[in-house]
Copies of this chain bind each other. A is one copy, B any other.
Amino acid sequence: MTVSITDVARAAGVSASTVSRALRGRPGVSDEVRAQIAAVAAQLGYTASRSASSLASGRTFTIGVVVPYVGRWFFGTVLDAAEKVFSAAGYDVLLYNLGSPETRKRFFTKLPVRKRVDAVLSLLIPDEEESAALRSLGVPLATTVGGARPGFTVVGIDDRAGTESAVRHLVNLGHRRIGMISGSSGPLHWTTPVERRQAYLDVLADAGIEHDPALEADGDYTVEGGERAMTELLAASRPPTAVFAQSDEMAMGALRALRRHRLRVPDDVSVVGFDDHELADVVGLTTVAQPVAGQGAEAARLLLRQLDEPDADAGQPGQVQMPIRLVLRETTAPPSPRGPQ
């Protein structure tokens, strides 16, 4: 006779779902109880079968993850951290990279994740229609980008506060001609560039600095784009003495452009980025640090909690804000009187 999960539960004096959680290494069970249950299961000769527990629960033990640009550091890092959490809990990840508009349209039209995943982590910002499509799946949803959205757990940062600390740092150093490299052509419906631009404008206004549109350039959130944008800013009739780049990759592109123009950083031009990319330290980049892997891991944990305790969070997905901080390194200094003014 086959030993069932109920037999183990009865013998161990716990619920079947606790046995299931314990044997699949999922959270919510103390190490002690887990060991006890494992001992009882071994004694009875019970082996947790994934397909059996899948049949019983109706679960696929698969999480769908939707990404706009898998090749970019930010998304790769978030994804990697989330995947580690899912994998440790016994879940597989099905990844959909929706960089092109056609792929994205096909995905949201066909919704190939239907009945194939227990939850969806979206690293792109769905519009209203796309959000509704995801909600129609009837599974927990989370995202690490963009603001509040009905039905989604959101893990993010305070983009305005982060930007303000970066731009204020430049103002405090004495800079008046402060450029910004942004990424207007980022993923659709992405609020980040908008929030960061507003914060940049607010700090300038606060400091009594008139906004000069010639000091803004689009860096496309890539290294190459940052290089192009910096080159553009340097060609202005009165180039900036300091630049805030909305991502470290664009800031590093800016550093490359400055090198090519034989301008010294920070002597001639100060640069501050956003992210604390794993290589920011190598180039000595002053930046706003955000926990990138941390956001992916936290979003994954919250999704798993919703799966394990559907009642606890049902209908009230939360919004989690992770900490940020300005990291001072070597690319920022007071403006030089000999700078490119």
Contacts and interface: CB of A to CB of B under 8 A. Distances in A.
Interface of A: 69-73, 76-77, 79-81, 83-84, 87-88, 90, 92-97, 99-100, 102-103, 106-107, 112, 223-224, 252-253, 255-256, 259, 278-279, 281-284
Given A279-B279, A281-B256, A99 B84 contact: yes
A223 B279 contact: yes
A87 B102 contact: yes
Contacts of A81: 71
A255 B71 CA distance: 24
Nearest to A73: B73
Nearest to A78: B71
A71 B84 CA distance: 11
Contact of A283 (B80, B87, B88, B282): B282
A293 to B, nearest CB: 8
Given A71-B77, A282-B223, A83 B97 contact: yes
14 contacts: A73-B73, A80-B99, A83-B99, A87-B99, A87-B103, A88-B100, A92-B96, A92-B103, A92-B107, A93-B103, A94-B94, A95-B97, A223-B279, A256-B281
Nearest first, the 10 closest Cβ-Cβ pairs linking A and B are: A71-B80, A95-B95, A71-B76, A76-B76, A87-B100, A252-B282, A256-B282, A223-B278, A87-B103, A83-B97
Contacts of A76: 70-73, 76
Given A70-B80, A255-B282, A97 B93 contact: yes
Contact of A252 (B84, B103, B279): B279
Given A70-B83, A71-B77, A71-B81, 5 more contacts: A79-B97, A84-B100, A94-B94, A95-B96, A252-B282
Given A87-B102, A279-B223, A95 B80 contact: no
Q: Which of A81, A92, A252 has the most CB of B within 10 A?
A: A92
Contacts of A278: 223-224
A94 B96 contact: yes
Given A97-B93, A223-B279, A79 B70 contact: yes
Contact of A106 (B92, B253, B281): B92
A8 to B, nearest CB: 22
A248 to B, nearest CB: 10
**Max chain B Cβ within 10 angstroms of own Cβ: one of A80, A107, A279:** A279
Nearest to A69: B80
Q: Which has the most chain B C-beta neighbours within 10 Å: A92, A97, A103?
A: A97
Interface centre among A70, A77, A92, A282 (most CB of B within 10 A): A282
A209 B20 CA distance: 59
